[in-house]
């Protein structure tokens, strides 16, 4: 690719996700290949290498001197003919490692000597201080070494590719190496050269590179004066990249502010006419306001708020049957009390409803509509009672609208407590606490684990009336209206928040007529699907932009960009097979799919099982494969699974 074509494609590269980073990579690659500056009168760089070799022979610290590296062919690296082809170890005089003083001896730590580890290797060029410091006693008692200022510090473990120049004397740990450069090698140029080397680590736990592999990396050295010109040009272009990146961040900030203010105007519309005006403004600028996949999530949040405020569908002509809803709740509560599942609770008052809802809706305390029960507490004394082991839902398992059941923990309870703490299909599970923005997360239990309980930090609520839908309550709790209530009512400490049962029972629930509830949920589902489609399109757009950016860099430098390995995807097949239970799993077995099958007479359509499982399609396939291998589910016949287009998988 020539310069003219590159300039024509510059906008695509710069505006792609991570595009400025690609520009920086391009600048560095051009720098070390001799394409960034022009040498009007090329000077042979070979004498520089000869001088460096002589300095090594005469160096007073012979044990630290880097030996001469194997011959490197010019075919291994792209560089002008007057540059000398060599290896990284040929450009440094000495290399020295480090170590760690014993952490068990306080006398070794908290001294005046900076001690560098990988965590100190930031993106900065210079290393001027470290997080940890050691004493002289700690230095002398370990394999660490005191490194004079002006050395190049490189990572050989974990943070491969990180490099810096220490401007102070420091000690280093065993994951770092210090290189002493001769005056024939510009330190800033060496940093550029090092950052463009392809470092591939090995190791089963922590990736690292052996010293001889590091020193054998191919390199090319230009004349000293040309090194300085290359460094100056790189600094100039990197400053322009910084400026471009700052402009993009400013533009993104303005875009976010505009999108959020527009969505706020839509969500707080007080009349159908105001909503139509604000919605028209949003629709007319949708593409400009929503440029990233995560932007669409904010759009969906605004739609949920509109739904809960009754602005998504035409109003019903009949009021909700509030008396029937309350009567059903009273009946269920009395049954729970008589069955010993709960104690009689003191009646609570409804909290103030800050929102304005349609006039024909009702608003009532959640306590009048549902029965709320606390969960099982760990660490109780249950000696002398018959025990069973059951999986349980903790806060981490309950998300907004779904459950994470991959790593359910188990707990021992008395067998006669199962009915009290077991979650049943249709139960609402609400988190008591966690991070301040996660309190009050709600999801409807639709199965997935046999005899599953809920922990005491997860409330269980059952809405018994057919005139109030569980899905409606879940929507209210997970909307911004619900989240704002829980955030305001919660007890907050540093980064943590929690609500108590009284605050949950006091929640002012808006109640539309049952037919309106259904129409609102149906409309929101359709709009949610459209948001999902738009999000998917934006993800594809960004992915394509990354591919094009890589192609531009590769075409201009002649260096192929190594693609990131993507996680293996499960085969995309239509879920038309009938799945049959084989051997029922035990209580301790992590078999959510087989558990669901067992509760439905041992046979279900794969699509129905996936939907009840409530997770991503790839997670479902992976779990199905595990449970088939364990013999819990019969292997489905291959003939009833056929390939389907990608865009139909989530239909």
* Residue-wise pLDDT tens digits, 141-163: 999 999 999 999 999 877 788 89
Q: Is the domain of 469 the same as that of 533?
A: no
Confidence of residue 538 (pLDDT cuts 50, 70, 90): confident
Domain boundary among 532, 562, 592: 562
Burial class (CB in 10 A: 0-12, 13-18, 19+), 359: exposed
pLDDT score at 560: 54
Residues 557 and 590 in one domain: no
Q: Is 539 inside any structural domain?
A: yes
Do residues 459 and 357 both lie within one domain? yes
Which of 481-485, 547-551, 579-583, 628-632 has the least mean pLDDT?
A: 547-551
What mean pLDDT is predicted for residues 321-350?
94
Three-state secondary structure call for residue 178? strand
Helices (H) and strands (E) in the chain, counts: 19, 25
- Are 603 and 614 in a shared domain? yes
Q: Please report whether residue 47 resides in a domain.
A: no
User: What are phi and psi for residue 390, nearest 5 degrees?
Assistant: -135, 150
**pLDDT at residue 584, rounded to an integer:** 78
Residue 576: predicted pLDDT: 57
Which pLDDT belongs to residue 204?
Answer: 36
Look at residue 324 in the predicted model and tell me its pLDDT.
Answer: 97
**Same-domain status, 200 and 282:** no
Per-position DSSP letters for 82-113, written without gaps between them: TSEEEEGGGG-SEEE------TT-GGGEEEEE
Identify whether residues 600 and 474 lie together within a single domain: no
**Measuring CA to CA, which residue among 370, 531, 352 is closest to residue 461?**
370
Q: What is the pLDDT of residue 326?
A: 97
Query: In this structure, what CATH number is given to the domain that contains residue 326?
Result: 3.90.220.20
What integer pLDDT is reported at residue 48 of this predicted model?
95
Q: What is the mean pLDDT of residues 5-27?
A: 76
Any idea which of 134-138, 253-257, 623-627 has the lowest mean pLDDT?
623-627
Residue range 118-140: average pLDDT?
93
Decide which of 222, 238, 272 is a domain's last residue.
Answer: 222
pLDDT higher at 22 or 47 = 47
Is 608 a domain residue?
Answer: yes
User: What pLDDT was estimated at residue 629?
Assistant: 82
Statement to judge: residues 613 and 549 lie in one domain: no
Angle at 93 between CA 176 and CA 89, to 5 degrees: 70
Q: How confident is the model at residue 251 (pLDDT cuts 50, 70, 90)?
A: confident
- E strands, 507-620, are 508-511, 578-580, 603-605
In the chain, what percentage of residues exceed pLDDT 70?
89
Q: Of the ranges 139-143, 255-259, 411-415, 544-548, which one carries the lowest mean pLDDT score?
A: 544-548
Residue 35 lies in a domain: no
Query: Are residues 520 and 497 both part of a single domain?
Result: no
- Residues 442 and 546 placed together within one structural domain of the fold: no
The per-residue pLDDT for 14 is 75
| Domain boundary, last residue among 501, 532, 562 | 562
228, part of any domain: no
Pair 398, 429: CB distance under 8 Å: yes
Specify if 284 maps to a domain. yes
Among 6-10, 40-44, 570-574, 596-600, the range scoring the smallest mean pLDDT is 570-574
- 423 and 346 in one domain? yes
Angle at the Cα of 204 from the Cα atoms of 201 and 207, rounded to 5 degrees: 25
For 644, other C-beta atoms within 10 Å of its C-beta total: 15
Specify if 78 maps to a domain.
Answer: yes
Whether 387 and 282 map to the same domain: the answer is no
Q: Domains in the chain: how many in total?
A: 4
pTM: 0.63
On the question of pLDDT at 494 being above 70, the answer is: no
Structural domain includes residue 45: no
Pairing label, strands 94-96, 176-180: antiparallel
| Residue 566, pLDDT above cutoff 50 | no
What is the model's pLDDT at position 489? 87
What range does the domain containing 392 cover?
Answer: 322-511
- Claim to verify: residue 372 and residue 493 sit in the same structural domain: yes
The stretch 402-423 carries a mean pLDDT of 92
């Amino acid at each position: 690719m020539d310069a003219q074509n590159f300039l024509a494609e510059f906008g695509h590269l710069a505006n792609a996700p991570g595009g400025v980073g690609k520009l920086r990579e391009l600048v560095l690659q051009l720098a070390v290949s001799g394409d960034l500056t022009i040498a009007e009168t090329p000077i042979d760089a070979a004498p520089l290498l000869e001088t460096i070799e002589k300095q090594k022979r005469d160096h007073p610290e012979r044990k630290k001197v880097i030996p001469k590296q194997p011959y490197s062919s010019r075919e291994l690296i792209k560089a002008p003919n007057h540059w000398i082809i060599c290896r990284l170890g040929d450009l440094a005089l000495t290399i020295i490692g480090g170590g760690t003083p014993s952490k068990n001896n306080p006398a070794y730590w908290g001294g005046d000597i900076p001690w560098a580890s990988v965590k100190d290797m930031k993106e900065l060029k210079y290393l001027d201080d470290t997080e940890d410091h050691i004493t002289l006693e700690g230095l002398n008692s370990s394999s660490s070494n005191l490194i004079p200022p002006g050395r190049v510090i490189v990572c050989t473990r974990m943070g491969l590719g990180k490099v810096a120049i220490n401007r102070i004397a420091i000690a280093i740990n065993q994951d770092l190496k210090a290189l002493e450069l001769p005056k024939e090698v510009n330190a800033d140029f060496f940093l550029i050269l090092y950052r463009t080397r392809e470092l591939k680590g090995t190791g089963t736990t922590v990736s690292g590179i052996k010293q001889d592999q590091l020193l054998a990396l191919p390199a090319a050295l230009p004349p000293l004066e040309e090194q300085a010109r290359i460094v100056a040009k790189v600094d100039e272009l990197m400053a322009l990249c910084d400026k471009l990146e700052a402009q993009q961040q400013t533009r993104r900030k303005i875009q976010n502010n505009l999108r959020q203010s527009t969505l706020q105007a839509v969500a707080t519309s007080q009349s159908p006419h105001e909503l139509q005006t604000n919605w028209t403004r949003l629709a007319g600028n949708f593409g400009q306001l929503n440029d990233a996949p995560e932007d669409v999530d904010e759009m969906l949040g605004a739609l949920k708020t509109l739904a809960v405020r009754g602005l998504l569908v035409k109003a019903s002509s009949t009021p909700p049957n509030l008396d029937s809803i309350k009567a059903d709740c009273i009946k269920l509560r009395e049954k729970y009390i008589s069955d010993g599942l709960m104690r009689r609770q003191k009646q609570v008052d409804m909290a103030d409803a800050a929102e304005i809802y349609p006039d024909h809706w009702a608003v009532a305390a959640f306590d009048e509509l549902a029965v709320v029960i606390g969960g099982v507490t760990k660490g109780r004394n249950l000696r002398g009672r018959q025990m069973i082991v059951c999986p349980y839902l903790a806060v981490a398992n309950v998300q907004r609208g779904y459950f994470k059941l991959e790593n359910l923990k188990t707990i021992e309870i008395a067998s006669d407590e199962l009915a009290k703490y077991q979650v049943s299909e249709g139960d609402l599970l609400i988190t008591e606490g966690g991070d301040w923005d996660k309190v009050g997360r709600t999801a409807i239990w639709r199965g997935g684990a046999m005899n599953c309980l809920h922990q005491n930090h997860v409330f269980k609520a059952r809405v018994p009336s057919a005139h109030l839908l569980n899905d409606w309550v879940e929507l209210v709790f997970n909307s911004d209206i619900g989240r704002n209530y829980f955030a305001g009512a919660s007890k907050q400490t540093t980064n943590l928040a929690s609500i108590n049962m009284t605050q949950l029972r006091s929640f002012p629930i808006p109640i539309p007529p049952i037919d309106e509830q259904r129409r609102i949920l149906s409309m929101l589902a359709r709009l949610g699907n459209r948001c999902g489609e738009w999000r998917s399109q934006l993800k594809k757009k960004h992915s394509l932009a990354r591919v094009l950016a890589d192609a531009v860099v590769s075409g201009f430098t002649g260096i192929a960009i190594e693609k990131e390995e993507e996680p293996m995807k499960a085969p995309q097949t239509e879920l038309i097979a009938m799945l049959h239970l084989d051997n029922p799993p035990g209580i301790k077995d992590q078999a959510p799919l087989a558990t669901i099958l067992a509760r439905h007479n041992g046979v279900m359509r794969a699509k129905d099982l996936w939907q009840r499982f409530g997770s991503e399609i790839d997670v479902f396939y992976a779990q199905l494969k595990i449970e088939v291998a364990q013999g819990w589910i019969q292997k489905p016949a291959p003939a009833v699974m056929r390939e389907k287009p990608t865009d139909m998988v989530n239909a």
